């Protein structure tokens, strides 16, 4: 009986060690190759363009040209340097090899080119949906009396009462 328990424990250790070998962390080189295949530098450029639009609307007194270089070549390198360890923590070497294979395929290349467009369209839909949903919920709260006509919390009776002077405070 003890012999079988020892064999089972040894097998479990062997399987655990094999599992660790399979789940090896990807190398920095492998992750950077993935970034290259995914055209991350191009994605950063697209992010920068979107940010220029957003910042131009948020801070109209600042010329758009100021924001153009937010993610320049140096910023792109810095950002990628910080992303390498994140990919190493969340993906195994086998995962990255699979991603490389996928992103090198015609479908993977289509995903790379179409994802920014689909995400931008999805964001617009999500913003419109969120705005409509929020307005509907506010109307519902107004109908229940939880919010006033201006969408604010009505003054509570306790807030309308004058403050009671605290003894010794001089009031």
- Kindly list the domain boundaries of the chain, sorted by start residue: 24-104, 109-149
Residue 96 near residue 31, CB atoms below 8 Å: yes
Q: Give the pLDDT confidence of 109-166 residue by residue, as tens digits.
A: 999 989 888 988 998 899 899 999 999 998 999 999 898 988 889 876 554 455 555 5
Q: Give the pLDDT confidence of 18-38 residue by residue, as tens digits.
A: 444 558 999 999 999 999 999
In this prediction the pTM is: 0.62
Quote the mean pLDDT of the chain.
82
Burial label for 124, CB within 10 Å (0-12, 13-18, 19+), is exposed
């Amino acid at each position: 009986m003890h012999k079988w328990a020892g064999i089972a424990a040894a097998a479990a250790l062997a399987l655990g060690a094999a599992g660790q070998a399979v789940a090896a962390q990807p190398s920095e080189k492998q992750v950077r190759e993935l970034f290259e295949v995914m055209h991350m530098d191009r994605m950063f450029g697209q992010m920068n363009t979107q940010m220029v639009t957003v910042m131009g609307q948020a801070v109209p007194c600042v010329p758009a040209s100021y924001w153009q270089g937010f993610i320049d070549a140096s910023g792109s390198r810095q950002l990628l340097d910080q992303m390498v360890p994140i990919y190493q923590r969340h993906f195994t070497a086998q995962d990255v090899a699979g991603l490389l294979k996928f992103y090198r395929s015609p479908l993977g290349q289509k995903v790379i080119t179409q994802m920014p467009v689909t995400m931008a369209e999805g964001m617009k839909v999500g913003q419109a949906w969120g705005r409509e949903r929020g307005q509907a919920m506010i109307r519902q709260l107004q109908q229940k009396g939880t919010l006033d006509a201006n969408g604010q919390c009505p003054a509570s009776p306790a807030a309308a009462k004058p403050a009671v002077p605290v003894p010794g405070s001089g009031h």
